[in-house]
Structure 1
């Protein structure tokens, strides 16, 4: 049931309800005309006999001005009928002079945070605690809209290149990459896990469609609490068959990124402007550097000693800084990863004499503005080589039979990559914590909302 405002309506019920809904972004096309708006009370002011309501709808904000209105609490959903007038100080340059004001659904209590102000006066954890409301904020929803366009650009480009979208199980009997970062579940009395990656299944599906992709959540039971990790995130996965080597995979990813950025320029420029961010130019050929050379570069140029088998976060930042300064690129592929830093299915590289390397793989990472957003490379397609690799990694071949079986039947050379959608979104928009690039994040300490 809707609640009418106590002020008398200056428009008949018939005329009010016969008007089509107008979005705030379209007000300029209706200057001087009567329109019907629907949205939320973003902000409100009562100056004696005159009331100001900033109405928020899916397309933006507009100021509505009336008198004798009984204004509901912020975030109530309302309907406004009024005349559009140009006003230089109003959001979008136009305001609506209210003729009829109707509460569609009243908020029963004030929001726990003031949404128009929360970017500067709300504790970040409070924003997540009350995410059901704070996600309505203009900047919060802008980030999610950018991500939606990013995913759409990813999907659309791959379809144009002949890829087929697939859907793979998220309840599995074993992990795709080995290791212990799996969430166990009870599957009718049998042990099972939430999938940490669709890797094994998308490889199997190369034998069906040759070129496949998936957009789906994946799960990592890692005990981290950093600004760059989530325990559930959206993975944009690709796998393609009949490749020559990992260069084919990197070239595809290069084209995908070009397409994504083109779509963002076309469809999400307003969101980037709101967030003070710029859409990067993707080089026609993203620069590449082998991992060992990358480690040496950041040590020699910046004096940073890299620990571990991979690049640490500071090394990623410094390497990205180097390529931004020397080649003007926000992107860099780090290639030729050692076997110890890659899963069992990574294809070994070739030695200069053409023999198989026992130490280096055809795996790569893609860094963007100082952080890894992608892992990819060529996979092992030869059955004998795969079984040798499983043994070398000390994995149980029986537990992987559902995966390895397909390699008995002529799998082609293939490879692929996976992009973390939230990480890419966060880096594109300058969001310091990846949790704010997901509507309802799951991290080490958060299961709600």
Structure 2
């Protein structure tokens, strides 16, 4: 429809054709209004019944809500209209009629439970609030990409069907690949490390990852979006600097470019983190968690941080913070240990503020130590030969991290469920749509 005018750009004195969805019909007796909605907003179409053709009035006022319509007519100023203008129609065409009985109300006047909304995601995203979340998500990814480019990174795309899992274990999704066993990739970790050993040196990727999580919680998914960074010739401290830069850029992008969406969602005081993220050692973190008294049992060295502990520490810190210097035994094989304290790893997590958002660290770039790390975690180095052999050909020191894309949006907007930030979530119960 090359002659289509968006509702937001219709100006008094224009003759326009607008196309969108029949959002609402208001019949006041001698006069009726059809509200047409498109991506840019809504516009009022006025029908003066006695002064207009009966068929035109009938078409425009008896159309089922959410039908796709096209309206041609003159735009007039009307201060009482929701947007200050209205269309006096010459013609109304119902392009695609909708069933009168809808599974949910896109106007938002009648609430629907999350499962119903996810079952009918197309209708759900006709709601302003749902649409706003995904417009913000798009800005988060755009801003992240821009920040990566400012860091001198090259965007890459790595395989999602692999012969071996990144970290092994029970979180692998096996598939049949031309008669062979293969897996859906848990992470681009190994491939992005190989790329820092190439001529690219510094890379990033934004793409799907797959984990057979047994957890069925408001913050776990089986298919998620990972925002990955890896760079040669940096250590874990510099990797944290880059991580902070990308996260802050995402907030800045949303603040600068999503004012309408934030207003729709009711965020009057959206804040961009303006101070450096504190860096707490693992030992400091468990001490501070224990000091809150929120846990029934005191944490000891080697414990992972439980959800309740993360929440307690997040409340105590009051914002984003890193946890550094994790015990070597609870970090993956590819995380480098400190040379002088091998029981400590260079691994770090970024919390935001009561949920893990980022996992990263400096990587082990020395071949012999890398192979030892595989064996220490019960993995067969030969199964990863495509990866390990490249470390025999000059692999530079390197570091990186991965952000959970949905978690970034979830924590940024304080969403109650991570599925709010996914178009079509995949979890233990949901495989369709």
Question: TM over 0.5: same fold?
Answer: yes
Map 1:200-219; keep pairs closer than 5 Å. 200-208=190-198, 209-219=200-210
Map 1:19-418; keep pairs closer than 5 Å. 20-27=3-10, 30-67=11-48, 68-70=57-59, 71-87=62-78, 90-117=81-108, 121-208=111-198, 209-243=200-234, 245-277=235-267, 278-304=269-295, 305=297, 309-324=303-318, 330-350=319-339, 355=340, 357-418=341-402
Q: Corresponding residue for 2:53?
A: none
Shift of 1:97: 3.4
Shift of 1:429: 1.7
List gaps (5 residues or longer) in structure 2: 49-56
Question: 2:197 aligns to what SS in structure 1?
Answer: helix
**Residues 97-121 of structure 1: per-residue CA shift (max 9 Å, x gap):** 3333222222245321111126x52
**C-alpha spacing 1:220/1:388, structure 2 compared with 1 (3 Å):** same
Question: 1:300 aligns to what SS in structure 2?
Answer: helix
Shift of 1:306: 5.7
Choose which of 409, 413, 426 in structure 1 pairs with 2:410: 426
Whole-angstrom distance in 2 between the partners of 1:64 and 1:417: 52
Whole-angstrom distance in 2 between the partners of 1:44 and 1:252: 52
**C-alpha spacing 1:216/1:156, structure 2 compared with 1 (3 Å):** same
Shift of 1:90: 4.0
Choose which of 442, 445, 449 in structure 1 pairs with 2:426: 442
Shift of 1:49: 4.1
Whole-angstrom distance in 2 between the partners of 1:360 and 1:22: 62
TM-score, normalization: structure 2?
A: 0.91
List gaps (5 residues or longer) in structure 1: 1-16, 325-329
Whole-angstrom distance in 2 between the partners of 1:185 and 1:381: 31
Shift of 1:228: 0.3
Contact 2:108 2:127 in 1 (8 A): no
Contact 2:294 2:308 in 1 (8 A): no
Whole-angstrom distance in 2 between the partners of 1:298 and 1:97: 65
Shift of 1:86: 4.6
Contact 1:239 1:415 in 2 (8 A): yes
Question: 1:230 aligns to what SS in structure 2?
Answer: coil
Shift of 1:247: 0.7
Whole-angstrom distance in 1 between the partners of 2:329 and 2:43: 57
Shift of 1:66: 2.1
Shift of 1:382: 0.8
Question: 1:99 aligns to what SS in structure 2?
Answer: strand
Shift of 1:271: 0.8
TM-score, normalization: structure 1?
A: 0.88
**Residues 361-391 of structure 1: per-residue CA shift (max 9 Å, x gap):** 1111111132111111111111111011111
Whole-angstrom distance in 1 between the partners of 2:85 and 2:30: 21
Q: Corresponding residue for 1:327?
A: none
Contact 1:66 1:99 in 2 (8 A): no
Contact 1:254 1:284 in 2 (8 A): no
**Residues 249-290 of structure 1: per-residue CA shift (max 9 Å, x gap):** 010111112222222122212111111134332235211101
Shift of 1:32: 4.0
**Residues 13-72 of structure 1: per-residue CA shift (max 9 Å, x gap):** xxxx88x43323334xx1343332111122223333433222221122233222414232
Question: 1:64 aligns to what SS in structure 2?
Answer: strand
Question: 2:261 aligns to what SS in structure 1?
Answer: helix
Whole-angstrom distance in 2 between the partners of 1:331 and 1:264: 17
Q: CA RMSD, aligned part only?
A: 2.0
Question: 1:360 aligns to what SS in structure 2?
Answer: coil
Question: 1:115 aligns to what SS in structure 2?
Answer: coil
Q: Corresponding residue for 2:52?
A: none
Contact 2:255 2:272 in 1 (8 A): no
How many residues of Structure 1 are paired with residues of Structure 2 in the alignment?
418
Whole-angstrom distance in 2 between the partners of 1:306 and 1:63: 62
Shift of 1:421: 1.1
